Chain A
Amino acid sequence: MTALYYIPSKIREDLKYEVLNQAIINTTGPVALYETWPDRGSDFTINDKKETTWPKFHHLVLQDETRRNLFLKDYQKRASRALTMEAHVSIGWLGTCDVIYPLHHQSGISVIFIGGQFLFDDQMAEARERLERFLTTVESKQRPSYRHFWHELPRLSKTDVSKIMKEFELAGRSYLLALRQHSDLRYITDMSTHDVVVTLQSLIAEIEILQIDLKEAFNIGKKWERRFESLLSMIESHNTYLESWLERRITFDEPQYTYDSIVELVKESADTFRPSAKARNIEIRADFEQINTVEGKQMIAVRMQKPSLRQAFNNIFDNAVKYSFSGTANHPRWIDIVGRLETINEQNGYSITVTSLGVGIDSDEQKLVFEAGYRGKHSLDEEFFGHGLGLYYARQVIEKHEGIISLQSKPQESRKYLTEIKCWFPIHALQNTKPGDR
């Protein structure tokens, strides 16, 4: 299946390390993995230096770095021969042995595991002979260290070697399976998003043509042009959001978590929205309960994946500003941010509550607004552009941070609602934790 080739090299590297580490743990020795790809040319790469004699291998050798190059070359000579052989023990340049396990995939890709640096009971005589032959080629002062190294190697029996071969077979199969699954996932993602994207494409094309036709026929003013532009941007941003969401799911990147100040993160996020709030005479006010200060920052340490948590709060503030009623110069409106220590279920935590006065959410919808695509009926007025994903994303992220998010919206007089979004996070050591600690 040609799709096996379509794996970003970073993910292939991650998969290899995962499989190889497992093989090393199970076999307690250095392991190399080789692959041959049927349509590759005759390039050969060793430590990023190209040679042209050998078939191309992608290799990983985890072993003593000082002997790395010599072992690599030796491995590759023997790996190229191993393609046509069954699993076997091979004796290397130093008389040390490797177990070589070739695994041939039906698409023609071969995965070969080589684990080495042991002495095989059945081949001790030959191993000793090779050692002595090698030692004649090195300086006499180096010979003791090589002898010492050789004698320290484990001796393996036939049973031990059979076990290693089995481990390699499992490792090789799991590697190929992981590659196949990833490839299938990427293919499925491309296919499934293809249909969604066609719909988005159709919408964007029709809307822009409508805008152009109306402009030509009726000379619509700038206000209408801006509204069309907002609509087009909204669809395009939905596409961007979909892409980044999907990409996170098909890569194996683990997010980096750090201990950082939740107060500082919320302040940074709120500051982003101050200008747009001020333009509508809305003031953003903040009141954070202080605990201690480290390096000038209020250190309420939450274990967080900063970029995604910042985006979650961006979504919350974006909603708060968007759905707040505008104030006037004499009577500004406000959005309040309150941070307080709070214990929930015997867990120390910190809550951030964002309160605003504006378009509300009826009580029967207050849980639904956290679902993908849902928008409260009061927000469906044409002046409020949104796609119902902001709070959905915020909840996903906050729950990943072991936090809790909730919403309350209470009617006030004159069809105004006081809406409160509360986020609670478990906190960690309040002292002796510096920003960026992992």
Chain B
Amino acid sequence: MAHLAWIEDDHQRISALVKLLKDDGHIILPYASLQEAQNHILLICKCDIVILDIILPPSEDDPYTGVNLLKTLREEHDYKGEVVVCSRVRNPAVLLKLQELDVKTILNKPIRPSTLHSVITKILTAG
């Protein structure tokens, strides 16, 4: 049983995406905004895997706030766990930044629940 942080502003609308993971007994901790995630950053750092959407509110100045959150996790809190990005951004600069922040898996939405389940299971098994 793993703890999975799910940082996704639309987690209520797309809750079915993580159903197979819940059925496996994993604990899913959802956070809908950058602020909410930052308020629970210490809890997120204890999770085995972080599932991260890149586009999170607020997004007036910089739409890709998920990248900033990841930067905080890696650099300020030394988070070493795997981060799986589930998003829909093709911006080359953002993709490069994610690579630099040690993101090995990027799933472009829309994703099937079985795909996410397979990726997470593989990571947990390998770990």
Interface residues of A, Cβ cutoff 8 Å to B = 1-3, 5-6, 8, 186-187, 190-191, 193-194, 197-198, 200-206, 208-209, 212, 232, 235-236, 239, 243, 247
Contacts and interface: CB of A to CB of B under 8 A. Distances in A.
A194 B109 CA distance: 9
Contacts of A186: 91
A2 B62 contact: yes
Pick from A2, A5, A204, A205 the residue with the most CB of B within 10 Å. A205
Given A190-B89, A201-B110, 18 more contacts: A3-B63, A186-B91, A187-B63, A190-B91, A191-B59, A194-B55, A197-B88, A198-B10, A198-B13, A200-B110, A202-B10, A202-B14, A205-B17, A205-B110, A206-B16, A209-B20, A232-B112, A243-B90
B94 A6 contact: yes
Contacts of A209: 16, 19-20, 113
B16 A205 contact: yes
22 contacts: A2-B61, A6-B91, A190-B88, A190-B89, A191-B55, A193-B88, A194-B88, A197-B109, A197-B110, A198-B10, A198-B109, A200-B109, A200-B110, A202-B14, A204-B111, A204-B112, A205-B15, A206-B16, A209-B19, A209-B20, A209-B113, A239-B110
Nearest to A199: B13
Given A190-B63, A201-B14, A206-B16, A236 B110 contact: yes
Does more than half of chain A's interface fall in helix, strand or loop, or is it mixed? Answer: helix
Given A194-B88, A197-B109, A3 B13 contact: no
B127 interface: no
A205 B113 contact: yes
Contacts of B17: 201, 205
Interface string B54-98: 010001011100000000000000000000000011111110000
For chain B, give the interface size range: 20 to 34
Given A2-B62, A6-B93, A208-B113, A202 B55 contact: no
A208 B55 contact: no
Contacts of A204: 110-112
A25 B79 CA distance: 55
Interface of B: 10, 13-17, 19-20, 55, 59, 61-63, 88-94, 109-114
A201 to B, nearest CB: 4
Contacts of B14: 198, 201-202, 205
A194 B13 CA distance: 13
Contact of A8 (B92, B112, B114): B92
Pick from B17, B20, B88, B113 the residue with the most CB of A within 10 Å. B88
Contacts, number: 74
A41 to B, nearest CB: 14
A187 B62 CA distance: 9
Contacts of B94: 6
Given A5-B93, A205-B16, A206-B16, A190 B62 contact: no
A202 B16 contact: yes
A194 B108 CA distance: 11
B14 to A, nearest CB: 5
Contacts of B19: 205, 209
Contacts of A247: 90
B110 A208 contact: no
Nearest to A243: B90
Contacts of B63: 3, 187, 190-191
Nearest to B88: A197
Given A191-B59, A198-B13, A205 B112 contact: yes
Contacts of A5: 93
A191 B89 CA distance: 10
B13 A202 contact: yes
A238 to B, nearest CB: 10
Contacts of A8: 92
A239 B110 CA distance: 8
A205 B14 CA distance: 7
A198 B12 CA distance: 11
Nearest to A239: B110
B117 to A, nearest CB: 10
Contacts of A194: 55, 88
Contacts of B111: 201, 204-205
Nearest to A210: B16
B98 to A, nearest CB: 13
**A-B residue pairs, 10 tightest by C-beta:** A205-B16, A201-B110, A205-B17, A200-B110, A6-B93, A204-B110, A209-B16, A198-B10, A197-B88, A206-B16
B11 to A, nearest CB: 10
A3 B10 CA distance: 23
Contacts of A243: 90
A5 B32 CA distance: 27
Contacts of A201: 10, 14, 17, 109-111
Nearest to A8: B92
Contacts of B13: 198, 202
